[in-house]
Structure 1
Amino acid sequence: MVAFESGLELSGRFYSEAVRPMLDSAFPGLPHAAALMGRGSEVLGFDDPMSTDHDGLPRIQLFLRDEDLDRYAEPLRQQVPSSFADRPTDVSLHTVRSYFTRHLGIDPDSSPEARDWLTFSEQSLRKITAGRVFHDEVDLEPARQRFAYYPHDVWLYLQLAGWWRIHPEVNLVGRAGQAGDELGSALIGSRLVHDLMHLCFLQERVYAPYAKWFGTAFSRLASAAELTPVLSDVVRARSWREREDALLTAYGLVAARHNALAITPPVATEVVQMWDRPFKVFWGPFPEALAARITDPEVKALADRWPAGAVDQVRELLWHPRERAALLSLLSPPEPC
């Protein structure tokens, strides 16, 4: 059997052994960048032998300066090797500006405002910051670094929104189960598991990928070792009481990780019962503590008016970069009466 070679390794060899020699010979001195970014499990570093059953090609993106693309695009396409390692190849041509505008809907040389950051899905941000740059003479890597992670106050706001997603539902696992709806209780529990996992991505300053690789990426977080068994207990629980107990443990672990970050004063937590109902609820004023540390006026206004988070929360409706105008309108202050 042929040993598996990751897509990043294969594409790196394709550039260094085939594309770079061609460029040096046919287009000496042409400033360019070469990378593997964007779509694909191999960009995220999660590909395996099964991944090669489609699009398992030696592929790269070539980036030219704006003034060079029109002049060299067609000659380059004619010179690019059509096969490598007994496979067809895939080389696409871009400028840094056109690539980022296509994937994020914004010029990479601009200075995104807080609400701009909330229009970028985490998967889109991960796609342009993951992968590998094999060569860079046109400032591709600096453009990637501008989007390496959220600005500090936006990061605080997204954690605030994450806790607000959890707080209204912490008692519903028990309420649905007590009413005889174990399936509904399990569904609510699973959603809370997802939200707690997403908080861990935020706490560790890592963009969360889309559903197929969400769990795999989570397993590589520092928090996964202690949280995975507990979250698995939530998902596997056969009764709402088991589910509730496992969730309380998970809340406590995520809360402890928040306090260890020292981005707010330590947040006191407690397990309480709502009214006289037999449901235990984990409570800590995390949104209030995070809001108090936000200094950017635009982010403060969002925290007061729109504590729902980023575009990922409404991605089913407005997920494409062309919908940024609608999202910006949604996040804009209302016109005065």
Structure 2
Amino acid sequence: MAHDDGYEEDAYDEDGSEERETVGTFDADAFLSGLDKIFAAHEGATKAGPYLEQAAVDAENAGDDAGLLTVLNETIGYYRSQGRHAENQWVIQRALELAARMGLEGSDAWTGTLINAATGMRAAGRHNQAEDLYRMALRSAERTLSPIDRRLAALHNNLSMLYSETDRAHQAEIELREALRILESASVNAGEDIDVASTNTNLALVLLAEDKLEEAERHAATALGIYRAGHLEHEAHYASALAGYAQVRFAAGEYGCAAAWYRRALAVIEECYGTDADSYATTADNLRRAEEEARRAGQPVGDDAADDAAAHDAGTSGDDARAAAMSGGAATSAAPSVTPSTAPSDAPANAPEQSSASDAARQLTGLQLARAFWNEVGRPMVEAKYPEYRGRIAAGLVGHGSECYGFDDARSRDHDFGPRFCLWLTDEDYARIGERLQADYEALPGVRSGSFMGVPAAAATPRAQGAGRRDGVFAIGDFFESITGYRMAPAEDHPYEWMMLDEATLAAATNGEVFADPLGAFSKARQGFKLMPEDVRLALVSRRLGMMAQAGQYNVPRMLERGDGAAAWLAVDEFVRAAASLVFLLNQPVSVGYLPYYKWSFAALRRLSGRLATRLADVCDQLESLMRLASAACYGGAGFGEGGRGAAPAAAQVTGAIERICGEVVAELRREGLTPSGDSFLEWQRPYVEEHIVSQEPCLHSL
């Protein structure tokens, strides 16, 4: 445990036990420092329990609720580690009740307590209670933690463990992917980040459970590449990455190779923990099993079996994804996989050739291609030609284009698609090296001519050139100004400027991925546009409620009754747009981003609705059904050869669908404490929502 080392020297004896001369007060910092001393002396098994119990008594006697909550949270973790699950139940309950009584709901302390409680319940095998607590923690974290806070990643990681333990591998995969996304966004250098490596290993093992061998191999290899790139081979967690990769090779039927990797894992465990550790015994058993299977399959089990291990040691590079990852070339999970499928050991001699790098590249998304292009071509150029600026240049792909949203497919490659990335500099750095760096960027093979991984340079459309270019070198302020009109996000006390920025514009300014940002300046500017002021968000929520009421609840049925199908169709469209926007706004843009422009609105809404803990997750399906019904309701299905049949029943279904969606919106507003009213007509909900707007700026309030 690591805590601030701020204890008072005279409050503790040499063994960490507290002197009881300061009755009536409780020093939480001193308590934590004393606990650290106990664990540092490896005396936790005997001294931590009594110490925690006495500290709880002292905090309670002193009337220090905050101090008592600190003690209870530490006790939950300690009892969990000691397997004292029955005793931990009342500690967990007491901590939750105390935090609620203190009014901490909605605070960082409440989030932390929920996470501790959920993890304690999971360790005790109380999975249902643990899942409920984790979900509460996620909802709380969305309000209390930054979207790139590593604690949020740890929360998703913990939830993935629960899903794995309850045989829900796909849900575990979703949680781990989210944890990985957060860590990669938060990391200064994801290619050397041990947390990113560990999460890649965990994800590989979950993917194995889903029989997704090729993808599992990519993530396992990525983890090893990160350890190598960061020179972290002597870290204790490196053993887990080695064993994880061995498990992947075992699953692929490469038993001799798996044995070689298990041996490497054993060596690291022995170095870090000794041979008495449980992990050493487990890994040794896995090694014996791999060796037995290798002999049974007629595979070598000695050094000759370790072709991948040799590639790792030599740091070789090439199209083989395993070799690239081992040499540090695959820095993150988004790096491309060009690993050919593993052929059976008895494959015929005239088997087809394995897939080429260009074949695999055709399966890459634009973001994956961009990240690979940066890692393999861009980063080496920057390091070679601009060594003094390598710690100041940000790289990534953000802005206009379907690939920046992650929605690109084969059809997206007919324009503006190719190897590319953005480089972002401060104004000062851009003035010094911007033009020269741009020239060096354009000279990279694949940017203006040639190709990368078999993908040719983009044939840029006129709108993506000059001032509208979508890649290359930018001053940070210029980049955001080209998208939003602002060099940096408007100030919180300038709500009228925020209200002039439509959501599609904000989506373009905050989408994509940042591959590297050692200075942090670009990420800070980008985050500024994600941090929509709460008053502005609530004002927009109110506006969307008004449009849903006016267009959907009021005008759709009136226009249908008049027989004006065209007007009804447009009213349905306005309702759908407002509802989709509302879903994003209620899920907090800082956490989920903004609704993009119309072309990708439903793609984004489907993706958001597929995430765990999304508010109004089923509204997306209802909106799509509503749009299908609107055809028959507005035009009687005439466009489909049905004449005027079916209009009346469809009209009833349309109005019913609208009311159901509005009812769900009201229920969500009540859950969030934005209204006490159950009135289903959304216009009447607006005053309640606007009561929560602090600013008196007229632009934030309805007339």
With the shorter chain as reference, the TM-score category is: 0.7 to 0.9
Partner AA of 2:679 in structure 1: T
Q: What does residue 148 of structure 1 align with?
A: 530
Distance of aligned partners of 1:62 and 1:220 in 2 relative to their CA distance in 1, 3 Å threshold:
same
Q: How much does 1:286 deviate? A: 1.5
| 1:267–1:284 CA contact under 8 A, matched in 2 | no
1:76 is paired with a residue whose SS is helix
| 1:149–1:205 CA contact under 8 A, matched in 2 | no
Distance of aligned partners of 1:20 and 1:174 in 2 relative to their CA distance in 1, 3 Å threshold:
same
| 2:419–2:457 CA contact under 8 A, matched in 1 | yes
Q: What does residue 23 of structure 2 align with?
A: none
What is the distance in 2 between the residues matched to 1:182 and 1:137?
56
Distance of aligned partners of 1:120 and 1:109 in 2 relative to their CA distance in 1, 3 Å threshold:
closer
Could you state the TM-score of these two structures normalised by the residue count of structure 1?
0.79
State the 4+ residue runs in structure 1 displaced beyond 3 angstroms. none
Q: What does residue 700 of structure 2 align with?
A: 303
What is the distance in 1 between the residues matched to 2:473 and 2:621?
45
Q: After superposing the two structures, state which structure 1 stretch, 7-16 or 192-201, moved more.
A: 192-201
- Is 2:404 the counterpart of 1:43? yes
Partner AA of 2:416 in structure 1: D
| 1:11–1:59 CA contact under 8 A, matched in 2 | yes
Q: After superposing the two structures, state which structure 1 stretch, 224-233 or 115-124, moved more.
A: 224-233
Identity %: 28
What does the per-residue CA deviation read over 1:187-209, in whole Å, with 9 as the maximum and x for residues that have no partner?
32232122222211211123110
Q: What does residue 176 of structure 1 align with?
A: 559
Q: How does 1:1-40 map to 2 (within 5 A)?
A: 2-3=359-360, 4-30=363-389, 31-40=392-401
Unaligned runs of 5+ in 2: 1-354, 447-451, 459-469, 609-613, 634-647
- Is 2:597 the counterpart of 1:204? no
2:423 is paired with a residue whose SS is strand
What is the distance in 2 between the residues matched to 1:254 and 1:110?
29
- Is 2:572 the counterpart of 1:162? no
Q: How much does 1:288 deviate? A: 0.4
| 1:153–1:294 CA contact under 8 A, matched in 2 | yes
Q: How does 1:193-232 map to 2 (within 5 A)?
A: 193-206=576-589, 207-221=594-608, 222-223=614-615, 225-232=617-624
1:108 is paired with a residue whose SS is coil
Q: What does residue 491 of structure 2 align with?
A: 111
What is the distance in 1 between the residues matched to 2:588 and 2:383?
39
What does the per-residue CA deviation read over 1:21-67, in whole Å, with 9 as the maximum and x for residues that have no partner?
11111111212111211111111111112212222211111122322
- Is 2:666 the counterpart of 1:285? no
What is the distance in 1 between the residues matched to 2:428 and 2:530?
27
Q: What does residue 665 of structure 2 align with?
A: 254
- Is 2:428 the counterpart of 1:67? yes
Q: How much does 1:223 deviate? A: 4.9
- Rg bigger for which structure? 2
| 2:398–2:511 CA contact under 8 A, matched in 1 | yes
What is the distance in 2 between the residues matched to 1:290 and 1:284?
11
What is the distance in 2 between the residues matched to 1:225 and 1:104?
29
Distance of aligned partners of 1:244 and 1:110 in 2 relative to their CA distance in 1, 3 Å threshold:
closer
| 1:218–1:224 CA contact under 8 A, matched in 2 | no
What is the distance in 2 between the residues matched to 1:229 and 1:124?
25
2:421 is paired with a residue whose SS is strand
What is the distance in 1 between the residues matched to 2:569 and 2:509?
35
Partner AA of 1:55 in structure 2: D
Q: What does residue 311 of structure 1 align with?
A: none
Q: How much does 1:177 deviate? A: 1.7
| 2:539–2:700 CA contact under 8 A, matched in 1 | yes
2:500 is paired with a residue whose SS is coil
Q: How much does 1:214 deviate? A: 0.4
What is the distance in 2 between the residues matched to 1:35 and 1:102?
17
What is the distance in 2 between the residues matched to 1:160 and 1:224?
17
What is the distance in 1 between the residues matched to 2:407 and 2:417?
13
Unaligned runs of 5+ in 1: 271-281, 308-337
Distance of aligned partners of 1:230 and 1:117 in 2 relative to their CA distance in 1, 3 Å threshold:
same
Partner AA of 2:486 in structure 1: I
| 1:96–1:140 CA contact under 8 A, matched in 2 | yes
- Is 2:445 the counterpart of 1:82? yes
| 1:269–1:284 CA contact under 8 A, matched in 2 | no
| 2:395–2:515 CA contact under 8 A, matched in 1 | yes
Partner AA of 1:234 in structure 2: L
Q: How much does 1:102 deviate? A: 2.2
- Identify, as 1 or 2, the structure richer in strand: 1
What is the distance in 2 between the residues matched to 1:39 and 1:49?
17
Q: How much does 1:224 deviate? A: 6.2
Q: What does residue 234 of structure 1 align with?
A: 626
| 2:366–2:408 CA contact under 8 A, matched in 1 | yes
| 1:190–1:234 CA contact under 8 A, matched in 2 | no
Q: How much does 1:283 deviate? A: 4.9
What does the per-residue CA deviation read over 1:260-309, in whole Å, with 9 as the maximum and x for residues that have no partner?
222x2432224xxxxxxxxxxx45621100111111122xx2234x66xx
Pick the aligned partner of 2:679 from 269, 272, 275: 269
Distance of aligned partners of 1:203 and 1:34 in 2 relative to their CA distance in 1, 3 Å threshold:
same
Distance of aligned partners of 1:290 and 1:109 in 2 relative to their CA distance in 1, 3 Å threshold:
closer
1:266 is paired with a residue whose SS is coil
Q: After superposing the two structures, state which structure 1 stretch, 41-50 or 178-187, moved more.
A: 178-187
What is the distance in 2 between the residues matched to 1:284 and 1:268?
12
